Structure 1
């Protein structure tokens, strides 16, 4: 696949779905391999890659030019992977290990400005989940609660929370990927 032209890049910044699809197809494998280098786990790397392309879509107007696409994707996927890894380590009570691996990196998804179309699609996908999976997904991904905090709030076991989250995350990821292919 060829490079993105300046004209196509401007179209991408303005929301051109075909150009976003071209960028996604051109860089997906590269970003996935980069994320996999951090995550060492295919499912985690896929999740990081998917979130990276969501951020690309959301922040597309902030990218200076077509040459800045790959550096942006690398920087965002690294931050997401580090954040993901940090949360995983903290939940496993290994704060010391993460402080040795990572200096000060903070990535807060609550600060993300969501695009209306993507936000509506995500809300619809979440609404289609079974009720308990919806609750667990929203509490973990949107409100950033730990498995234990969710278990306490919902009156279920930590393992049940984990199982619901695994299934819900996979369902949301698959539906978002299908949606990206359909729309873009």
Structure 2
């Protein structure tokens, strides 16, 4: 860098920057980078993010240089750009954290639902296995009630037995299943 650029004031450097003078840009960079970095670090408390924010500010400064106004205050422009970049970082980071949090919750819930459904299927198979082990008459009474939702009177008519026998067989079937599965027996079976 030419030593004379170090003697230029900000307005002279700004006018050279507008004309795409690389040495003017380098001088502005060396003048303001440490100040902007300290400000960004005070806000972000993270070296890499602070460096990224300041680098982004200078990249945009170079890209927008030809469209800057001639009377621009470089210091104010850079400070405002840094503040806005920090706010954007916070906003993106907040959205990013919210997204990750929501995704984590979704995955946790999906895992719980999947685990629940697997356990439900296993329990259902175990219950079906125990129903198959019931004595034939008891199983038939139980399945007519469960599968066809027949009343005790209707079951008695179908099987040609008394309603009292149907009720006794149902109570024994439910009692047998409760003894095997306790609280895990779905409430549907209990209300039969």
* TM-score normalised by length of structure 2: 0.44
Relative to the length of structure 1, the TM-score reads 0.46
**Larger relative contact order (Cα-Cα within 8 Å, sequence gap ≥ 6):** 1
